[in-house]
Structure 1
Amino acid sequence: MRIMRLYVRLLGAHLRSLLEYEGDFWVVMAGTVIMQAVNVAFLSAIFAKVPAINGWTFWAVVAMFGMVAVAEGVGSLFFEGMWNLSWQINQGEIDYKLVRPYPVVLQVSASNIGINGLSNIVSGGLMLGFAVAHLPVPWTPLRVGLALGILLSAIAVKVAVNLATNAAAFWMQSPSPLFAFAVHQAGDLARFPLSVYPWALRAALGFAVPFAFVSFFPVAFLLDTGQAWIGLLTPAVAAYAVLMAAWIFNRGLRRYESAGN
């Protein structure tokens, strides 16, 4: 609990500094909402020509877009500091974190806050809400509980992938998170049904880097499709992804050599 309280206080300090510039805050918020609105307009244009994509309807794909937006929003709002890891390693700034009585990975994660994450969470939540309202989902108390657990697990998968790919900077030692950014961009493929891709890409998104568990398989569970049972594995995949990300980060931290002079 003490660690969590400190984490919240670190994020709060960054949030207060960002709110000193209210104009920037509202511009970033508006820009993110506009981007998500453009995504929905893009989908509307596609589905105006075709009724379904491999059996997946407009609202099912909107739900996938919403899942990705919420997961990215949580990652930006609460763990944006991961994207500064490569710079901190290159400049030797990890030195300061090593001597503090607080986990290094949490210091890194809380070293910045992405205010655009808030608008991503709101817009993604709205997309999910409208999609669920239009999808034939038989809601029961058990199904609601499972859906919430799968949603939290999907977010954990996305955050774990961000941490693992950014931790590659311990080996690459570049000041820019190019590898992590490239993997993040590949994650945009998870906004669409996995069945539209060739088998090699399905394997990559489903197992190598499990982006499919951020959106496709959770939505498949909600709709009770043929892949519904795989969606139930999302919590297990999330636990595996978090453990692997922590292991990669700790292995990288052990080989950290500072920046010299």
Structure 2
Amino acid sequence: MRLLRLYVRLLGAHLRSLLEYEGDFWVMMIGTILMQVVNVVFLAALFAKVPAINGWSFWAVVAMFAMVAVAEGVGSLFFEGMWNIAWLINQADLDYMLVRPYPVVLQVSSITIGINGLSNILTGGIMLGAALSHVDVNWTPARVLLGIVVLLSAIVIKVAINLATNAASFWMQSPSPMFAFAVHQAGDLARFPLSVYPLALKAALGFVLPFAFVSFFPVSFVLGHGSAWVGLLTPLVAVYCVAIAAWVFSRGLRRYESAGS
């Protein structure tokens, strides 16, 4: 609980500093919301030409877009500092963190805050609510509970992938997270049904970099569509991703050698 309180206080300090510039805050919020609106307009234009994509309706695909938006929003709002790992390594700023009585991974994650994550969470939540209200789902207490667990697990998977790919910077010389950014861009493929991709890409998104468990499989489970049972594996995949991310970060931290000068 002490670690959690410290983490919240650090994020709160960054949030207060960002709110000092109200113009920047509202521009970023509005810009992020417009991006999600453009996504929905794009889908509407696409489905105006085709009734379904491999059996997936408009609202089912909107739910996938929403899941990605919410997961990215949580990652930006609460764990944006992960994207600074490469710069911290290059500038040897990790030296300061290593001597503080607070886990390095938490210090890194809370070093900044991505305020655009707030608008992503809001718009993603609205999109998800609208999508679920337009699909025929037999809502039972068990399905609601499992749906919440699957949603939270999907968010954990996205954050864990961000940490693992950014921690790869310990083995690279660049001050920018090029590898992590490339993987992040590949994650945009998870906005669409996995069934539309060739077998190799299905394997990559389902097992190598399990972005499919951020959107496709959780939505499949909630809607009872396609391989719905695979969605129940989302919590296990989340545990696996967290374990891998923690291992990669700890291994990288052990080989950290400061600036060398």
Q: TM-score range by the shorter chain?
A: over 0.9
Alignment of 1:231-250 (within 5 A): 231-250=231-250
1:164 corresponds in structure 2 to: 164
2:100 corresponds in structure 1 to: 100
> For 1:86 and 1:123, how far apart are their aligned partners in 2?
30
The reply on whether 1:66 has 2:66 as its aligned counterpart is yes
> For 1:17 and 1:254, how far apart are their aligned partners in 2?
33
Give the CA deviation at 1:260.
2.0
Give the CA deviation at 1:159.
0.1
For residues 101-139 of structure 1, the C-alpha deviation after alignment (integer angstroms, 9 at most, x for no partner) is: 000000000001000000000000000000000011110
The AA in structure 2 aligned to 1:171 is W
The reply on whether 1:21 has 2:21 as its aligned counterpart is yes
Alignment of 1:1-261 (within 5 A): 1-261=1-261
> For 2:223 and 2:126, how far apart are their aligned partners in 1?
18
For residues 183-232 of structure 1, the C-alpha deviation after alignment (integer angstroms, 9 at most, x for no partner) is: 00000000000000000000000000000000000000011123111000
The AA in structure 2 aligned to 1:254 is R
Give the CA deviation at 1:24.
0.3
> For 1:189 and 1:150, how far apart are their aligned partners in 2?
20
| % identity of equivalent residues | 77
Give the CA deviation at 1:69.
0.1
Match of 1:161, SS state, is helix
Name segments (4+ residues, structure 1) moved above 2 Å.
none
Structure 1: give runs of 5+ residues left out of the alignment.
Answer: none
Structure 2: give runs of 5+ residues left out of the alignment.
Answer: none
Match of 2:100, SS state, is coil
Q: If the length of structure 1 is used for normalisation, what is the TM-score?
A: 0.99
Aligned length: 261
> For 1:85 and 1:15, how far apart are their aligned partners in 2?
20
> For 1:173 and 1:251, how far apart are their aligned partners in 2?
16
> For 1:230 and 1:166, how far apart are their aligned partners in 2?
28
> For 1:249 and 1:19, how far apart are their aligned partners in 2?
31
> For 1:173 and 1:22, how far apart are their aligned partners in 2?
36
> For 2:90 and 2:99, how far apart are their aligned partners in 1?
18
Alpha-carbon RMSD: 0.5
> For 2:240 and 2:130, how far apart are their aligned partners in 1?
31
> For 2:35 and 2:225, how far apart are their aligned partners in 1?
30
Match of 1:256, SS state, is coil
> For 1:16 and 1:260, how far apart are their aligned partners in 2?
35
Match of 2:88, SS state, is helix
> For 1:19 and 1:215, how far apart are their aligned partners in 2?
32
> For 1:26 and 1:248, how far apart are their aligned partners in 2?
36
